[in-house]
Amino acid sequence: MDDVSEQEIHLHMRTDKTYVSPAFKGFVGEKIRIANKVIDNPGGHEFGLVKDEIVLRETPAGRFQIKATFFEASRGIQTLTIQKFTKTGGKEYFTFRPNEITRLLKFLTDIKRINFPDEGKINISDADLEQLLLSPAQMKRLAADNQPLLAELARNEITTEDVIALGYRKRELRIFERLLTEQAFFQATRDHRGLTPEGVWQKFFERNAWIFGTSLSLIHFGPLDNRKMEQVVRGFSVTGPGKRVDALLRSNAVVSTTCFVEIKRHDTALVTDDQYRSGIWQPSKELSGAVAQIQGTVASALDQWHSQETVYAVDGTPTGEILFTTEPRSYVICGCLSEFQTAPGVNDRKFRSFELFRRNLLRPEVVTFDELYQRARMIVEADQGTADANHA
């Protein structure tokens, strides 16, 4: 578009409208649009320098245009240009880049936030503005306008962190359900991150340790401070192979005990396809192998551990955590109970074989993925119910 045609468009724009271009592909492949807004300047006065003298002069009326180039999806502004056309057909403009736009917007916002206690000058740092205190009049107005909310917060001690935590858990619970029930979603997650099926669940539970903490047991378990859940519990040596557990947890109590968790797949079979005897099904190779694996991991760890262990950071500094290792709890997360569901109903003999197997295990406890999901869902719904009751 040449300047003449662009100027004609500029002159015919209406000031009560915002004009947005069609989307087009940017160099990074994202869709980009351009928004334009014109503003008519009615004219005014400004200081000018004439023959070394500062004079006040009248400025003519005119029109200038604000043009923003932005990504359609994120609305991230890439350039912000302020331009106007001269009487001779030329164009004057100035363009702000992304980091300059951010600083400009922050500067304009900060002006509105500054409190002026007197007529003196003020120099205030950006850090102080971030911790800005309202003036007494502003605080009174804020309290007066929000009395019901302030009373509710004081009565129920509801915090921003509570609201954020509940929203996060509800979102992650939906992801949990989709990973369980939508094979295409599970496969897309695998492909996107280049993970094994077990790796998908490992990553999910790493960022959602609260599910283990609230759903495995009445005792609240959580990961070690500033550590991933997956840990080496016995190093390789000439006396034996190393051992790694998918989740090493500790109880949140005055005395912290240990807990081992082995994470398998949600689509792992719990019993064999064929009957071992009439009406009797064996645990599947994968399930019995997982049980043997975590039993071996716990035994190997206890061979090297003392009755209590001090936890150290990578640099050798004690973290302040002490683990008591007597009879640690252990869990295998494997399969789904939907395996026993058929069109006419539940195959009760298959389920009975599985239930008898796991109920007669001393250690570990076997929990299916769908059971873990339902426990987590009940925790979130209970939290939601408490929040709703507090606001009733």
**Is a pLDDT exceeding 80 seen at residue 361?**
yes
- What pLDDT score does 298 carry? 86
CA distance 211 to 204: 10
Amino acid at 254: V
Structure tokens at 243: 């051992």
Of 134-148, 157-171, 225-239, 342-356, highest mean pLDDT: 342-356
**Is a pLDDT exceeding 90 seen at residue 3?**
no
CA distance 383 to 377: 10
Angle formed at CA 221 by CA 215 and CA 222, multiple of 5 degrees: 110
CA distance 208 to 333: 15
Instruction: Look at 379 and 245; give whichever has higher pLDDT.
Output: 379
pTM over 0.75: no
**Percentage of the chain with pLDDT > 70?**
63
pLDDT in tens, 50-103: 555 655 555 555 677 888 887 777 777 778 888 887 766 677 777 877 777 777
Other CB atoms within 10 A of residue 10 CB: 19
Position 223 confidence tier, pLDDT thresholds 50, 70, 90: low
| Closest of 117, 29, 15 to residue 66, by C-alpha | 15
Decide the pairing of beta strands 365-367 and 318-333.
parallel
DSSP structural state of residue 52: T
289: Cβ contacts below 8 Å, ≥ 6 apart: none
Low-confidence winner among 202-206, 304-308, 335-339, 341-345 (lowest mean pLDDT): 304-308
pLDDT in tens, 122-162: 666 666 655 555 556 666 666 666 666 556 555 555 455 55
Of 7-11, 79-83, 110-114, 218-222, highest mean pLDDT: 79-83
Runs of H (alpha helix) within the chain? 3-12, 98-113, 126-130, 136-145, 147-156, 160-181, 183-193, 197-206, 209-215, 285-304, 348-359, 369-391
Position 382 confidence tier, pLDDT thresholds 50, 70, 90: confident
